[in-house]
Amino acid sequence: MSRVKGGVHTLKRRRSILKQVKGYRQQRSNKERAARDAIFKAGTYAFRDRRAKKRDFRGLWNIRINAGVRLAGFPSYSTFMGALKKRGIALDRKILSTLAKDYPETFNRIVALVK
C-alpha cells in the first residue's frame, strides 16, 4: 500500500490552533501542544462563566431592587417581593431593577400599589 502524507491538513490544523491563541503569552501562543491545552482550558472557563454570569446578574438585580424599595419606604427586598406575589403583579427581577435604576418614579408607583 502506498504511503499517504498529511502535510497539508496537519499545517492547516496547526495554523488554525495558533490563530485561536493569538495574544496568549509564552509557549501558549507558539507551541501547538501548549496552545491546544490553552484552548481547552479557555473553553472550560467560558462554559462555566456563561452560567456564573446569570447568577451575578440576578444578584445585581436584587441589590438594585432592594435599594429602590428602601428609598420608597418599604422595609426590605424580601417583604416587597412577597407583597408583589400576593398582589399578583408578575414583573420579573430584571424589569424591576431596570425600573428602579432608570425610571424611579414608575418604580415608586409600583411600590405604592403593593403597599
Span 32-44, pLDDT tens digits: 999 999 999 999 9
pLDDT reported for residue 54: 96
Residue ranges of domains in the chain, CATH in brackets: 7-114 (1.10.1900.20)
Cell digits for 90? Answer: 408578575
pLDDT reported for residue 109: 93
26-30, 72-76, 93-97: which range is least confident on average? 72-76
The percent of residues above 70 in pLDDT, for the chain, comes to 100
